[in-house]
């Protein structure tokens, strides 16, 4: 006979959530600063608890042998406190605490052991058992279990109140419901919390990886560019001191912007990135006098962008497009606003560039593309320019322009 009661579907849902969470936890067990083993333990306990509860309900409704029902009742009672106990560990981890050094962990461990002991002793002594009509009786042991369960809830509530400033509003509500729920709701909510935390940490690590690549790019600034700039200033000091002074100031501004980008945690106003690019171009035009010409058409500037986005694009265009033996290089920088996006368009008259997909040799462009996607859901497209050269277009969705 197929059991179709409401509780069956809730237990099945809990099992499916648990299996999904178990798979995610196993895949992400190597994530930095993430308790992968604890997550696997929590989901395993949740799946086991839900499965035992489902089996127990099916055994009772189908009137399986009493020995089987008693065994399932015992195992269900023993495993029942485990998900809640493990939830306390995750709660402490979420708050940035070491569970081994927390009093709430030892309180919950003691109460869980007492609950399991009450269930074990009660069933071994016959105080808790099953009638021939498959009804569970517990006698006066229920009076003992209720205060223990209430103590678990109170202990968790006190811990939550003391740590409320460490949690966001949504996390506080979810933990509150988890601590008050003693059945399948706890399992499902616990898994939702864990999955949301996994996603949050994955995004944080992706953003940190993008920032680290940016720091590496800054740390590996082209030594020959710095050397050549200094030599340009050296020769200008004799021939044109005023211009040497201007180049020195622009070069100092360029270096300062690069170094500040290392400590930036989010997006910056486009105007800052534009000034950084102008400073860089002033230096390059001094070095390549008569060979490099730049045009700005930037009426739209009130939006944000990851640091070191526009300047490396322009630098890349000059690096691959400027050749003293060829015609002068023209670079244009344009900004405009569409219904959905803010666009930045960089064009050059160099030899041209054809994107090569996954084999794209220009690591700088791939780095910029990844940071745009991670930090503001932006995109970067590269295509040949109709009149020859290369066109690079950056699109940043208006609704996504907020610092991370």
132: Cβ–Cβ under 8 A, 6 or more apart, which residues?
A: 66
Pick the more confident residue, 143 or 115. Answer: 115
Tokens 């170094």 belong to which residue? Answer: 259
Q: Is residue 3 scored above 60 in pLDDT?
A: no
The pLDDT assigned to 60 comes to 82
**Listed ranges 32-46, 201-215, 331-345; the one with the highest mean pLDDT:** 331-345
Query: Rounded to whole angstroms, what are the CA distances from 401 to 171, 260, 275, 334?
Result: 25, 20, 19, 19
Residue 138 tokens read as 């517990």
CATH of domain 221-400: 3.30.565.10
Q: How far, rounded to the nearest angstrom, does the alpha carbon of residue 169 sit from its chain's CA centroid?
A: 18
Q: Where are the domains of the chain?
A: 6-206, 221-400
Mean pLDDT of 34-47: 75
Average pLDDT, integer, range 259-270: 73
Model pLDDT for residues 292-312, shown as the tens digit of each residue: 999 999 999 999 998 888 988
> Burial, 239: exposed, middle or buried (Cβ in 10 Å; 0-12, 13-18, 19+)?
exposed
Mean predicted confidence (pLDDT) in 365-381: 85
Side by side, the strands of the sheet bearing 292-297 are 292-297, 329-337, 341-348, 390-397, 379-384
Q: Which pLDDT does position 170 carry in this prediction? A: 73
CB 385 within 8 A of CB 351: no
Q: In the predicted model, is pLDDT for residue 97 greater than 80?
A: yes
Is this model's pTM higher than 0.75 or not?
Answer: no
Comparing 235-239, 287-291, 389-393, the range with the smallest average pLDDT is: 235-239
pLDDT at residue 403, as a whole number: 42
Could you tell me which of 229, 245, 226, 227 has the C-alpha nearest to residue 283? 229
Is the pLDDT higher at 212 or at 282? 282
């Amino acid at each position: 006979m197929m059991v179709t009661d409401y509780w069956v579907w809730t237990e099945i849902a809990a099992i499916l959530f648990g299996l999904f969470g178990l798979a995610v936890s196993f895949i992400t067990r190597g994530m930095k600063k993430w308790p992968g083993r604890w997550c696997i333990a929590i989901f395993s306990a949740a799946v086991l608890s839900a499965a035992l509860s489902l089996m127990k309900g099916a055994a009772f409704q189908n009137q399986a042998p009493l020995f089987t029902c008693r065994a399932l009742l015992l195992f269900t009672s023993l495993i029942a406190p485990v998900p809640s106990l493990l939830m306390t560990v995750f709660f402490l981890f979420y708050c940035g605490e070491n569970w081994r050094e927390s009093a709430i962990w030892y309180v919950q461990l003691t109460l869980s052991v007492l609950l399991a002991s009450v269930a074990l002793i009660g069933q071994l002594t016959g105080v808790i058992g099953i009638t021939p009509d498959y009804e569970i009786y517990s006698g006066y042991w229920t009076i003992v279990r209720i205060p223990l369960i209430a103590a678990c809830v109170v202990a968790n509530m006190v811990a939550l109140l003391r740590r409320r400033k460490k949690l966001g509003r949504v996390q506080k509500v979810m933990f509150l419901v988890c601590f008050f729920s003693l059945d399948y709701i706890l399992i499902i909510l616990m898994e939702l919390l864990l999955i949301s935390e996994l996603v949050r940490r994955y995004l944080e690590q992706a953003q940190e990886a993008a920032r680290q690549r940016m720091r590496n790019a800054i740390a590996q600034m082209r030594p020959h560019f710095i050397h050549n700039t200094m030599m340009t200033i050296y020769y200008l000091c004799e021939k044109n001191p005023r211009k040497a002074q201007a180049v020195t100031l622009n070069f100092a501004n360029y270096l300062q912007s690069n170094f500040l980008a290392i400590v930036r945690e989010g997006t910056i106003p486009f105007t800052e990135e534009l000034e950084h690019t102008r400073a860089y171009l002033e230096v390059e035009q001094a070095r390549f006098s008569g060979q490099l010409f730049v045009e700005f058409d930037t009426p739209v500037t009130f939006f944000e962008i990851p640091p070191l986005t526009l300047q490396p694009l322009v630098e890349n265009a000059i690096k691959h497009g400027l050749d003293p033996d060829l015609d002068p290089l023209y670079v244009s920088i344009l900004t405009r606003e569409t219904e959905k996006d803010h666009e930045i368009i960089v064009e050059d008259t160099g030899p041209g560039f054809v994107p090569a997909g996954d084999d794209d040799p220009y690591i700088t462009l791939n780095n910029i593309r990844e940071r745009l996607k991670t930090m503001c859901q932006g995109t970067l497209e590269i295509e040949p320019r109709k009149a020859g050269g290369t066109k690079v277009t950056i699109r940043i969705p208006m609704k996504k322009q907020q610092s991370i």
